[in-house]
Amino acid sequence: MAAIGAIATPILVAALGIVGWKIRNRIERQFALEQALREDRVATYNEILEPFMIMLMTDEAWRSDPKNKNKDKASLGTQKALSLDYRKCAFKLALIGSDGVVTAYNDLMQYFFSSGEREPSEQSVREMMSIFGILLLEIRRSMGNDATALDKWAMLEWFINDARAYRSKAK
């Protein structure tokens, strides 16, 4: 009986060591992959958001930048959003973005596809802002802020003047 214990103990220790090493190796590999993807995601998220940031920027802020002299922000934002480079970036987003970000981006794009060329109403602007706020919130979560206490409207308040007014109307 003692002989079995003397043989089993080193085998058990070796087996547990191998299992522990495999688990540690998998965790380290996952962490390294996440770190590498993080930089790529940040760049992709910034490119995806650029046309929206241009179009949602106040006219005053747009005119105050000398680089924007004699440029129409709506046409520039639309031009960027319809470019081949933007499509490539959106494709990249679908590959490397988190599930939540991809879903929120899809919802936003489907909203624009379904709204077509009609003149936006106050209700449709509120809907668009709500969906855009969800996209920003999902990006925040994918960057490591899973337990954020912010909501979709709080994500908009820093750059949309009347975000709080739209928030109160949405309740």
Q: How much of the chain exceeds pLDDT 70, in percent?
A: 95
- Give pLDDT tens digits for 11-36: 888 888 888 889 998 998 888 888 88
Q: How far apart are CA 143 and CA 41, in angstroms?
A: 9
Nearest Cα to Cα of residue 104 among 134, 124, 130, 148: 134
Least confident of 68-72, 87-91, 151-155: 68-72
- The domains of the chain are located at 39-170
What is the predicted pLDDT for the residue at 116?
72
- In this prediction the pTM is 0.75
Averaged pLDDT, 146-158: 90
What is the predicted pLDDT for the residue at 1?
62
Count Cβ atoms below 10 Å from residue 54 Cβ, excluding itself.
Answer: 20
Handedness of CA 108, 113, 115, 119 (dihedral sign): positive
Averaged pLDDT, 71-90: 91
Is 155 in contact with 131 (CB distance < 8 Å)? no
- Give pLDDT tens digits for 39-77: 899 999 999 999 988 888 888 888 888 888 888 888 888
